């Protein structure tokens, strides 16, 4: 399968105001496109995709510069990544139509090949922070002002490897690295605080020495403000409060992690989805 | 105490590896050397030569591989070093997903493969490392002699697992140019194929025998059997084949060779396989102790070739 063409046609501007113009409409368009794509493919994991589509849309439209790097560590939100790439013109509708199909590069978790801007195969949680740290280290080594962003889930931080990476990033002063946490409070088989509780994640990462920002993952300006550059010798962890399954009848429900749109007629899901479709 | 201590055994391969990596790569501004808190009394020279590009990433093997992948993705040359048993096992998924799937040419250097860490116990032995790395498609290199190191580290073009041991070649052996599979001793009583450093042990055991009283000895330093020359297959056909490896039977040299022979429709008259004991059976000791139990120390090799 040949790599997908890079159709990126973003305007080159440093004006955040200009880049944030119409962001609300862009986010809603992305959310609708995401639901439609998952419905057409019949693939699940929609809940965790919907909790981060705002973040990804703002990230790609208003934060990431041409030379920056992004890693989707919560690989099960691949659909949201693909739609974000569609939103900026990197992927087109024909590409999205292959999502979840045979012989497609748009797999349920990024396969790491042939999709512009996707650097690694992710899908096993806990890998992204280290990969991002390596990218950030390379940038620092070369004196580049490249910034690296990595999106994780909250449950993902139960993986020890995340903490290994954070400790490394703090020690090596990788302030060009931003780890974003999609904190929707739900994981695969329960609520995060019921599976592995403890102090709030924001406090734990702060104790490791990271710079911590907390924001609303469904408010575009809060997202953009939290993801701005801040070079003070510390990596940044941005904890974004979100709602799993945002915009559907499965909001904040465990089922939203797994079920594709419309698979449970008794949930009331289709009605809410149709409002956004 | 190593199996042949006191009999002109050279220093461990890691010394040669360290000197070669310093000579070849320390001045490369894009080459990084990473370790996970291992290297005391071994890597000080590398640390000094590489400067800021030498990173002790701490006791965190999963992060080691992820960082290495990130560096390699940006075009850096990367060596990752640890005790072999720690290097491939703990971060197996990272090696799989971030190196094997991507093809990034990171060189994983595992010191002390096999039973090299002897008395330290089974957690420090690497007995299935070659098999699991090979299963991922990582190139597995097990140098037989110190002189193999320069050629191997100079040709890293894919994810590579380099298992370091100790050069056991007798001081009388003149040496030979590196090749992934090569015949190091002529003989007409069968063919013995040894994984890496055991070739040197075989040379010690058999070198003093007449040619018609010993098998030919081949050193296999690359687990890819397709890198072997045609001459090997000609010698194996219809012959008695001995395979010795400081590695578990499953997925190791014996199985690789057997599979390669089967694909080529080559049948051995007899196939004798001496390998490591996996899982550990509750008896522990030095590397020499384990070699003797597995039957690939010098005495064991002699007994093996003379068994009816």
Question: Is A26 in the B-facing interface, judged by CB distances under 8 Å?
Answer: no
Question: Is A136 in the B-facing interface, judged by CB distances under 8 Å?
Answer: yes
CB A71 within 8 A of CB A99: no
Which of B70, B96, B100, B101 best tests the A interface by mutation, with the highest count of A CBs <10 A? B70
Task: Please report which helix (H) or strand (E) contains residue A190, including its range.
Answer: strand A190-191
Instruction: For residue A45, name the pLDDT band (cuts at 50, 70, 90).
Output: confident
Residue A87: count other Cβ atoms within 10 Å of its Cβ. Answer: 20
Place of tokens 């934060």: A63
Instruction: For residue A248, name the pLDDT band (cuts at 50, 70, 90).
Output: confident
- Smallest Cα distance from A273 to chain B, Å: 35
Would you call A130 and B93 a contact, using CB atoms and an 8 Å cutoff?
A: no
The distance from CA A149 to its chain's CA centroid, rounded to whole angstroms, is: 9
Instruction: For residue A8, name the pLDDT band (cuts at 50, 70, 90).
Output: low
Question: Alpha carbon of B87 to those of A4, B50, B107, B213, B214: distances in Å?
Answer: 35, 21, 11, 41, 37
* Selection from B243, B233, B250, B220 nearest residue B304 by Cα: B243
Tokens read off for B225: 């059997």
Chain B residues with beta carbon closer than 8 angstroms to that of A119 = 73
Instruction: For residue A97, name the pLDDT band (cuts at 50, 70, 90).
Output: very high
With pLDDT > 90 as the criterion, what percentage of chain A qualifies?
77
Question: Is B67 in the A-facing interface, judged by CB distances under 8 Å?
Answer: yes
CB B190 within 8 A of CB B213: no
Tokens read off for B285: 């000791």
* Upstream peptide bond of B279 is cis (omega within 30 degrees of 0): yes
Residue A168 has pLDDT above 50, yes or no: yes
Question: Is B94 in the A-facing interface, judged by CB distances under 8 Å?
Answer: yes
Residue A209 has pLDDT above 90, yes or no: yes
Angstrom distance (rounded) from CA B165 to CA B278: 19
pLDDT for the residue numbered A42: 87
pLDDT in tens, chain B (308 residues): 334 443 345 678 999 999 999 999 999 999 999 999 999 999 999 999 999 999 999 999 999 999 999 999 999 999 999 999 999 999 999 999 999 999 999 999 999 999 999 999 999 999 999 999 999 999 999 999 999 999 999 999 999 999 999 999 999 999 999 999 999 999 999 999 999 999 999 999 999 999 999 999 999 999 999 999 999 999 999 999 999 999 999 999 999 999 999 999 999 999 999 999 999 999 999 999 999 999 999 999 999 999 98
Would you call A127 and B101 a contact, using CB atoms and an 8 Å cutoff?
A: no
* Selection from A260, A273, A276 nearest residue A46 by Cα: A260
Model's pTM, two decimal places? 0.92
Angstrom distance (rounded) from CA A156 to CA A210: 17
pLDDT for the residue numbered A228: 85
Would you call A134 and B101 a contact, using CB atoms and an 8 Å cutoff?
A: no
Question: Is B58 in the A-facing interface, judged by CB distances under 8 Å?
Answer: yes
Look up residue B114 and give its DSSP letter: B
Look up residue B257 and give its DSSP letter: H
Mean pLDDT of A89-117: 94
Instruction: Name the maximum alpha-carbon separation found in chain A.
Output: 56
Phi and psi of A196, rounded to 5°? -135, 100
- Smallest Cα distance from B302 to chain A, Å: 48
- Smallest Cα distance from A224 to chain B, Å: 25
Would you call A130 and B102 a contact, using CB atoms and an 8 Å cutoff?
A: no
Mean pLDDT of A1-18: 61
Question: Is B154 in the A-facing interface, judged by CB distances under 8 Å?
Answer: no
Tokens read off for A198: 């403890």
Question: Is A138 in the B-facing interface, judged by CB distances under 8 Å?
Answer: yes
pLDDT for the residue numbered A246: 92
Environment class of A18 (CB within 10 Å of its CB; exposed 0-12, middle 13-18, buried 19+): exposed
Q: Is A164 helix (H, G, I), strand (E, B) or coil?
A: helix
CB B116 within 8 A of CB B165: yes
Mean pLDDT of A165-174: 98
pLDDT for the residue numbered A267: 34
Strands A186-187 and A190-191 turn out to be antiparallel
Q: What is the mean pLDDT of chain A?
A: 89
Task: Please report which helix (H) or strand (E) contains residue A237, including its range.
Answer: strand A236-241
Instruction: Name the maximum alpha-carbon separation found in chain B.
Output: 59
Would you call B71 and A137 a contact, using CB atoms and an 8 Å cutoff?
A: yes
Residues 6+ apart with CB under 8 A from A94: none
Q: What angle do CA B37, B42, B45 make, to 5 degrees?
A: 100
pLDDT for the residue numbered A259: 74
Chain B residues with beta carbon closer than 8 angstroms to that of A139 = 74
Chain A residues with beta carbon closer than 8 angstroms to that of B76 = 138, 141
Look up residue B215 and give its DSSP letter: -
Chain B residues with beta carbon closer than 8 angstroms to that of A160 = 62
Question: Is A97 in the B-facing interface, judged by CB distances under 8 Å?
Answer: no
Place of tokens 């490249």: A146
Residue A182 has pLDDT above 60, yes or no: yes
Place of tokens 């320390």: B26
What is the full DSSP assignment across A58-108?
HIIIII--TT-EEEESSGGGHHHHHHHHHHTTSS-HHHHTTTTSTT-S--S
Interface contacts A/B by beta carbons within 8 Å: 91
The interface predicted TM-score (ipTM) is 0.91
- Smallest Cα distance from B238 to chain A, Å: 44
Nearest by CB to B60, from A119, A121, A168: name it.
A168
Question: Is B226 in the A-facing interface, judged by CB distances under 8 Å?
Answer: no
Residue A269 has pLDDT above 70, yes or no: no
Q: Is A167 helix (H, G, I), strand (E, B) or coil?
A: helix
Residues 6+ apart with CB under 8 A from A230: A175, A211, A236
Chain A residues with beta carbon closer than 8 angstroms to that of B68 = 134
Would you call A120 and B97 a contact, using CB atoms and an 8 Å cutoff?
A: yes
Q: What are the tens digits of pLDDT across the range B193-244?
A: 999 999 999 999 999 999 999 999 999 999 999 999 999 999 999 999 999 9
Residues 6+ apart with CB under 8 A from A268: A249
Angstrom distance (rounded) from CA A110 to CA A119: 9
């Amino acid at each position: 399968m040949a790599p997908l063409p890079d159709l990126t046609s973003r305007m080159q501007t440093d004006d955040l105001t200009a880049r944030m113009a119409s962001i609300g409409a862009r986010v809603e368009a992305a959310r609708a496109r995401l639901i439609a794509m998952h419905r057409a493919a019949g693939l699940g994991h929609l809940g965790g995709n919907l909790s981060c589509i705002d973040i990804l849309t703002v990230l790609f439209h208003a934060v990431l510069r041409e030379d920056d790097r992004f890693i989707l560590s919560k690989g099960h939100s691949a659909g949201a990544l693909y739609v974000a790439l569609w939103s900026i013109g990197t992927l087109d509708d024909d590409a999205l139509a292959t999502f979840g199909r045979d012989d497609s590069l748009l797999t349920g978790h990024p396969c790491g090949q042939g999709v512009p801007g996707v650097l690694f195969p992710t899908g096993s949680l806990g890998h992204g922070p280290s990969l991002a740290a390596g990218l950030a280290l390379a940038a620092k080594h070369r004196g580049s002002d490249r910034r690296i962003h990595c999106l994780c889930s909250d449950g993902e931080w139960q993986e020890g490897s995340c903490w290994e990476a954070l400790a490394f990033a703090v020690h090596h002063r990788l302030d060009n690295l931003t780890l974003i946490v999609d904190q929707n409070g739900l994981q695969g088989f329960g609520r995060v605080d019921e599976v592995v509780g403890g102090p709030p994640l924001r406090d734990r990462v702060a104790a490791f020495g990271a710079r911590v920002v907390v924001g609303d993952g469904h408010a575009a300006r809060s997202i953009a403000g939290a993801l701005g550059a801040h070079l003070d010798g510390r990596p940044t962890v941005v904890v974004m409060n979100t709602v799993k399954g945002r915009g559907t009848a499965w909001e904040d429900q465990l089922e939203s992690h797994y079920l594709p749109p419309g698979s449970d007629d008794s949930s009331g899901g289709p009605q809410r989805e149709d409002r956004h479709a | 105490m190593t199996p042949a201590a006191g009999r002109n055994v050279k220093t461990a391969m890691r010394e040669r590896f360290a000197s070669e990596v310093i000579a070849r790569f320390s001045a490369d501004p894009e080459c990084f050397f990473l370790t996970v808190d291992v290297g005391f009394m071994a890597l000080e020279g590398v640390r000094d030569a590489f400067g800021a590009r030498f990173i002790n990433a701490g006791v965190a093997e999963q992060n080691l591989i992820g960082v290495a992948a990130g560096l390699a993705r940006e075009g850096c040359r990367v060596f990752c070093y640890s005790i072999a048993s720690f290097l491939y096992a703990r971060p197996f998924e990272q090696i799989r997903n971030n190196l094997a799937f991507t093809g990034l040419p990171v060189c994983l250097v595992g010191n002390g493969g096999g039973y090299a860490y002897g008395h330290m116990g089974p957690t420090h032995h690497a007995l299935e490392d070659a098999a699991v790395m090979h299963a991922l498609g990582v190139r597995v290199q097990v140098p037989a002699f110190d002189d193999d190191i320069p050629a191997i580290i100079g040709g890293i073009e894919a994810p590579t697992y380099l298992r370091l041991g100790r050069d056991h070649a007798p001081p009388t052996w003149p040496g030979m140019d590196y090749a992934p599979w090569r015949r190091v001793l002529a003989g007409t009583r069968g063919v013995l194929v040894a994984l890496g450093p055991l070739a040197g042990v075989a040379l010690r055991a058999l070198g003093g025998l007449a040619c018609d009283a010993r098998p030919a000895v081949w050193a296999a330093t690359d687990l890819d059997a397709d890198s072997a020359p045609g001459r090997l297959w000609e010698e194996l056909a219809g012959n008695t084949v001995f395979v010795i490896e400081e590695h578990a039977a499953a997925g190791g040299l014996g199985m690789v060779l057997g599979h390669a022979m089967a694909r080529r429709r080559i049948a051995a008259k007899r196939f004798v396989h001496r390998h490591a004991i996996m899982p550990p059976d509750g008896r522990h000791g030095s590397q020499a102790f384990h070699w003797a139990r597995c039957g690939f120390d010098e005495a064991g090799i002699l007994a093996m070739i003379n068994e009816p």
